[in-house]
Amino acid sequence: MKEKRIRGVAASPGIAIGPVYRYEPVPIHVEAETCQDVSAELARLEAALVEARQELRLLAEQASKSVGSKEAAIFSAHELFLQDPELLQQVQQRIRQRQSAAFAWQEGFQYYIQQLGAIQDEYLQARVLDLEDVAQRVLRHLTGQSEQSLQPSAPAIIVARELTPSALMRCPREAILALCTAQGGPTSHVAILARALGVPAVVGLGEEDLAALRSGQVVIVDGEQGLIVVEPKEHELLIYQQRRRLLQEQALQAEQSRLLPACTSDGRCYPVRANIQAPEEVTEARACGAEGIGLLRTEFLFLDRSQAPSEEEQLAVYRAIIEATQPAPVVFRTFDIGGDKPAPYLSLPREPNPFLGVRGVRLGLKQPELLRTQLRALLRAGAGRELRILFPMVSSFEEIEALHQLTQAVREELRQQGQPLAERLELGVMIEVPAAALLTEAFAEIVDFFSLGTNDLTQYTLAADRTNEGTASLADPFHPAVLRLLQLTIEAAHRRQRRVEICGELAAEPLAIPLLLGLGIDELSMVPRAIPRCKQVIRRWTQSEARQVALQALQMRTAAEVRSYVRACSTDELAARADDGREA
C-alpha cells in the first residue's frame, strides 16, 4: 500500500508507532415513548441521576490519582450538568406530559446540545462533547444498557470520530500508544487528558481522513506536528524510531538539569516561568524547574459555578498561591471570561462570534464591580510583597486608561480602609490582537510590562482558527507577519524600558527559542511540562547566534521558509528533526 500522510491539529506532543484500533461506539437512541405512571418515571429519572453522579465521582477519584486534580475537575464539571435546574425542570416537565423518562431525558439534553453546536467556537464545541457524554451516561442507566468500553487487546493507536473523557479514563494507560480523532481541538478535554497522560494526540482530522484509517494498519503519529503517516515505508519507520530515541534521550537530559538556570552559552540568563490555571499546579511547576508563575489564569475561580466568587474567597486562594511560590513572582491575569468562556450567573447574551465579543477586560469594564472585587482581593493578597497584574484582551488606549484608573481607585479605597496592600504593583497588558501590538509604545506610558499571547495573536493576525481542520495549517506562529508584530512590540517596549515576556504556546516550541531570544524577549512562560526542554534549548545558543537567526527570519515571506531556515541553522538537532514532519 502506498504511504499516506494525514494532517490534523497537534494536541499532545510525542511520537508513537503501532497498529490502529478503531473505537466506534454506537450511541443510544430512544424512540418516542409514552408513560402511564408519571411518579414512577420521575423516580426512575432520579435513580439514574444518582447512579450517574456516583460513577462520575469515582472517575474523578481515578483521574485525580492518575493525572492530577486539575484534570479530575473535568468529571466534577460533568456532575454539575446533572444538577442544572433549568435542564432538570425541562425534563421533568416532559415526563409530566407523559413522555418516558428516557425519551424526556434524551430530548431535553438534545436541546442544549443543539444550542451549543450551532455556535462555531472552540470552548463551546468542547462542551458539546461533554454534554453528549453526560447524556449517554444517564441514558445507559435508564435503558439498562452497558457501557461500550475502550479495551484494545494490545497497545494501539486509538482512532475515533470523537472520544469522551470517561472512555479515555476507563482504558488502561498501557494500552494507549496515541490518540487520533476526527473532531475536537487542542483545548478539548480529551486533548487535556492526553497531555496529562503523556500520550501523543492528533485531533481535528475530519471525516474523510478518518475513513482512511482502518484497524490493523501500522501508522506513525507525530503529536508535535499533527501528522499521521499511514503504512510508512521502512526508511520512514527507521527515521521516526531514531527520532523517538532522541526524544527520550533529550527528555532524560532535560529532566536532570531542569532546576538549573536557563542561561545561553555566552552568559545571558532568562527567567523561565510556568503557565497555570489552578492552585494545585504550583507544586508541579516548581518540580519542573519553574522560576515563578508567569501566567495564572484566574478564571478557574469564576467558571462552572452558580455565582461569582466573593472577595474573601479570592483573597484566600491568591494568598495561598503567593505563599506557595515565594520568593519567586506570580503574574495574575484578571479573569478572561465572557464570550467563549461563559459564566451562567452573568446572564450574558450568546454571541455569534465569541472570540470577537465581550470577553476579558471588555467584560470587566462593562461590569466594573466584578473586576473591582477581584482587584481588591489581589491587592490585599499581595500585602507586603510585589504584585503583578496582567489584563487580557486589551485593544485600545481608552481601555488601558480605564483599567489604570480603576486600579488606582481600588488602591486608594483600600488605603482609606486601613487594609495592608502590595508594596510594589506592576500592571501588564496581554498582546493578543494586532491593535495592541501596534499601540505598544502608547500603552507603555501607563503599564509596566507586556506579555505576548501568541495563540490569539496568530489567530487574529492571520484570520485563521487553529482549531478548525480547514484553517489550522494557516494559523502558524512562525508566519513572518506574526514575527514582525512580535519584533514591533518588543522594540517599542524596550524603547520605553518595559519588560516583555511570552506566555503563548510558541514559548514552549523548541524550534522557536532562537527566534524569541533573537527578537529580544526578556522572560518566557509556558506549561510546566515544557520547562525542562525549553531551558535545555536556551543553553545551546549564544545571543549573537539567535539575533542573526531572527534577523534573517524577519526577511522571509512564508512560515515554511522561516521553519526551514531555523531548522537548517539550529544548534539543536532534536528541535530541527522534530519539526521535519510539518511541511512534508
Q: Which residues are annotated as a binding site for phosphoenolpyruvate?
A: 297, 333, 455-456, 466
Task: Kindly state the DSSP code that residue 214 receives in the 8-state scheme.
Answer: -
Pairing of strands 15-22, 269-270: unpaired
Residues 503, 451: contact at Cβ < 8 Å? yes
- CA-based radius of gyration for the chain: 25
Dihedral angle sign, alpha carbons of residues 525, 321, 252, 181: negative
Task: Kindly state the DSSP code that residue 111 receives in the 8-state scheme.
Answer: H
Q: How is residue 541 written as a grid cell?
A: 545558543
Rounded Cα–Cα distance for residues 446 and 91 (Å):
53
Pairing of strands 201-203, 9-12: antiparallel
Assign 310 to helix, strand or coil.
coil
Rounded Cα–Cα distance for residues 341 and 298 (Å):
12
Q: Provide the 10 A C-beta neighbour count for residue 513.
A: 30
189 catalytic per annotation: yes
Q: Of 201, 71, 129, 185, nearest to 459 (Cα)?
A: 185
Task: Kindly state the DSSP code that residue 229 receives in the 8-state scheme.
Answer: E
Task: Kindly state the DSSP code that residue 420 receives in the 8-state scheme.
Answer: -
Q: Of 244, 225, 264, nearest to 549 (Cα)?
A: 264
383 exposure class (CB count in 10 Å sphere: 0-12, 13-18, 19+): middle
**H or E stretch at 457:** helix 454-462
Question: In 270-388, which residue ranges form alpha helices assigned H by DSSP?
Answer: 281-287, 311-325, 361-366, 368-381
Residues 496, 289: contact at Cβ < 8 Å? no
Maximum Cα–Cα distance across the chain: 81
Please work out, in degrees rounded to the nearest 5, the angle formed at the alpha carbon of residue 222 by the alpha carbons of 160 and 474.
90
Return the C-alpha torsion angle 109, 112, 115, 121, nearest 10. -110
Q: Give residue 263's region: left, alpha or beta (phi > 0; psi -120 to 50).
A: beta
503 catalytic per annotation: yes
Q: Provide the 10 A C-beta neighbour count for residue 243.
A: 19
Q: What are the φ/ψ torsions at residue 99 (nearest 5 degrees)?
A: -85, 150
Residues 446, 401: contact at Cβ < 8 Å? yes
Q: Of 280, 276, 383, nearest to 332 (Cα)?
A: 276
Is the omega angle on the peptide bond into residue 480 within 30 degrees of 0, that is, cis?
Answer: no
Catalytic residue among 78, 141, 171, 189: 189
Q: What are the φ/ψ torsions at residue 168 (nearest 5 degrees)?
A: -65, -45
Assign 198 to helix, strand or coil.
coil
Residue 124 CA to its chain's centroid (Å): 13
Q: Of 510, 501, 502, nearest to 530 (Cα)?
A: 510
Annotated active-site positions, please? 189, 503
